[in-house]
Chain A
Amino acid sequence: MTDTTVIQAAERELKTRISFTVAVKNSFTLAYRAWLKMLHNPESFMEMTILPVMLTLLFTFLFGGAVSGSTADYLPVIIPGVLVMCCAMGCSTAGTLLREDMNKGITKRLTSMPIARISPVAGMLMIEIIRYTVIGVVVFSLGFALGYRPEAGIVGVMGCIGLMVIAAWCLSWVFALMSVSVKSISTAQTIGMVIMFPMAFLSNALVPVETMPGWLQWVVDINPLSHVVTAMRELLSTGAMGSEFLVALAGSLVILAVFAPMTVMAYKRRA
C-alpha cells in the first residue's frame, strides 16, 4: 500500500534554487487552485454572470430613454460602460483572496515549502484573466441579444474585451498591493469597495461627460477607467484603435510595471 518510508536528508538530492520552469509550474498549480476556489464558490459565479446581466438590463431600460433618447441608442454608450463597471468591481477579488490566504495560514504553509515565492501571487492573479473574459463575453452577448450591432464587428468586440481584460488585470495589482499591506480581510474588502465604487461612477461609463459640471468633468477625465471606456467606444464605433486605446493600454502597463513588483515584495515581506 502506502510508501511511508522517509528518505533521509543525506540521501536526498537537494536543489539550491528554484528554476524559472519550476516557478512557472508552481504558478500554474496555484492558478488551478484559484480556479477550483472559483468553481466552488457560487458567489463568484454570480459576480461574473448575474451581476453583469442585471446591470446591463437595469441601466439600459432605466437610463436609456433619459440619456440617449431610446434604449437602442443607449446601447453603444452603456455596453462598454457596464463592462468597465463589472470588471472594476471584480478588481479587488484577487487581493482579498490573497489576504485570506495570509490570515488563514495557507501562506505560511506555502512559504515553508520549496516553491517559488512569486507563485502564490502570480497564480492568484492569473485566474483573474478568466473572470474578466467571462464578464466581457456575457456583457457583449447580452448586448447582441438586445439588438446592439457595433460597427467594428466581432474583431472589434474581441479587441475591446482584450483591452478591458488587460486594464482590469493591471488594476487588480493595485488592489492586491493594498490587500497584502493591510491586516484584516474585511479591511481589504472595504478598501476595495470604497475606491472602486466612486471610480466606477465618477467616470463616463454610464452618462456622457458633457452633462456634468466642469469640476466633475475634470475628475472624470483623470479617472483611468474613463480612458478605457472612451477607447472601447471609439474602437466599437469606428473599428479603429484610436489614440485613447494606446493611452489606456500604456497607462495599464505602467500601473502593472509599478504595482506588480511592489505587490510581490510586500507579500514576501509579510508572508
Chain B
Amino acid sequence: MSDCVLAVETNGLVKTFGNNRAVDGVSLSIPAGTICGVLGPNGAGKTTIINMLATLLTPDAGSAKIFGYDVQKDTQKVRQLIGLTGQFASIDEELTARENLVIFSRLLGFSKAESKRKSHDLLEEFGLTEAADRKLSEFSGGMRRRLDLAASLISRPPLIFLDEPTTGLDPRTRAQMWQTIRQLVKNGSTVLLTTQYLDEADQLADNIIVIDKGRVVANDTPDGLKRSISSASLRLVIRDPENTGRAVEVIEHVLGERVQITETSELAAPMKHAYKLTEVLIALRDAEIELSTIDVRQPTLDDVFFALTGNARENAGGN
C-alpha cells in the first residue's frame, strides 16, 4: 500500500453549539494503515470531531476528507468506507446479538445467506458465539462493546472510528479490546480512536493528537509526546509542615528540578530517573525531615495538559 494515501484529512474544522465552539479549527491528517489516538478530557470535542467525520454532523466551517472524498459532498461514498463504534453502544437491546448483526449485514446489501455467514464469523471472531442467541439485556458491558465493534466491521471498512472504546471496561476486557484494535490494523484498516487515557493512546497509537476545548494542542508520536513531559512524578507529604521549605530545597538540589506545592500540600517534582529516588530519601533523612507519604506516579493526562497548556485541566462539563 502506498504510504502517501491519507485516510483522514481535515482542515480547520469548526462546530459550534450555540456559542460553545465545541470544535474550533481542527486540522489533522491520518495516513492509511495507522492508528491515530485523539486524546482529550471530557468535553474536549472528541465525539463532535468523529461525528463530523462520520457524516452525522455538518461542520460549520472547514473541510474534511475521507480517502479523498469530501464528507459533505460525497457523503454516500464516505459512508461506504467507514465503520463507526460510538461512545455509547448503538445496538438493539431487544434483539439477540445474531439478529443485530444479520440486520446490519442485510442493510449493507449482503444476501440472506451471506449475512448469516458474516454474522456467524463475526460472533466467533469476537468470542460471542455462546451468547449469540441471547437477548442483549443479559450482556456485560464488555460483550456489548465487542458486539458494537463487530457490527462496525461487517463491511470490513478501511477506516474505523472508535469513540472511547475502553471507557468503563475492566482491565482484562480492556486489554482484549487493545488486542482487537491492533488486529484491525494488521488486517489493513486505519483506526481513529479517542480516549481519555494517556496509556491507551501510548499503547496503541502511531500518532497522538491532544485536544483541549476544541483545539489541537499537540500532535506527535507517543515517544515525542512523552519526551515533552516528564516521565514520572514524585509526590511527597512532609510530616511536619514547618519543614516544607527545607524539604523543597533538598529535593531541588538532588533532582535538579523545580518542586511544586499542590493544593493538598503535596510536594510534586518531575522524576526522570527512578534511581534518584534513593538519593532523595537519603538526603531527606540526613536533613532529618520526616515524611508521612511517598508516591511515584506515571504521567497522566493531567500532566500532559499541565505540560502543554500550562494550567491544570479543569473538569469540563458535558460528555
Q: A and B, one complex?
A: yes
Residues of A within 8 A of B (CB): 1-10, 12, 14-18, 22, 25-26, 29-30, 32-33, 36-37, 40-41, 104-106, 108-115, 119, 271
Question: Could you tell me the distance between the alpha carbons of A56 and B221 in the complex, rounded to whole angstroms?
Answer: 71
> Which residues of chain B come closer than 8 Å to A113, judged between CB atoms?
79, 104, 107-108
Contacts A14-B81, A32-B103; is A41 near B94 (CB within 8 Å)? yes
Cβ-defined partner of B1 (8 Å) among A8, A22, A36, A119: A8
Given A25-B109, A33-B99, 14 more A-B residue pairs with CB atoms under 8 Å apart are: A6-B156, A9-B32, A12-B158, A26-B107, A32-B103, A36-B95, A36-B103, A37-B92, A105-B90, A109-B104, A110-B107, A113-B107, A115-B108, A119-B107
Residues of B within 8 A of A (CB): 1, 5, 7, 32, 54-56, 67-69, 74, 76-77, 79-82, 84, 86, 88-95, 99, 103-104, 106-109, 121-122, 124-125, 135, 151-152, 156-159, 183, 187-189
Cβ-defined partner of B92 (8 Å) among A3, A4, A18, A33: A33
Cβ-defined partner of B67 (8 Å) among A9, A29, A30, A115: A9
Closest approach, in angstroms, between the C-beta of B159 and any C-beta of chain A?
8
Q: Are A14 and B151 in contact (CB under 8 A)?
A: no
Closest approach, in angstroms, between the C-beta of B228 and any C-beta of chain A?
33
Which of A6, A29, A41, A115 has the most chain B CB within a 10 Å cutoff?
A6
Which residue of chain A has its CB nearest to the CB of B55?
A112
Closest approach, in angstroms, between the C-beta of A164 and any C-beta of chain B?
27
Which of B74, B79, B107 has the most chain A CB within a 10 Å cutoff?
B107
Q: Are A104 and B90 in contact (CB under 8 A)?
A: yes
> Which residues of chain B come closer than 8 Å to A25, judged between CB atoms?
109
Closest approach, in angstroms, between the C-beta of B17 and any C-beta of chain A?
14
Q: Are A106 and B90 in contact (CB under 8 A)?
A: yes
Cβ-defined partner of A108 (8 Å) among B5, B74, B90, B157: B90
Cβ-defined partner of B108 (8 Å) among A104, A114, A119: A114
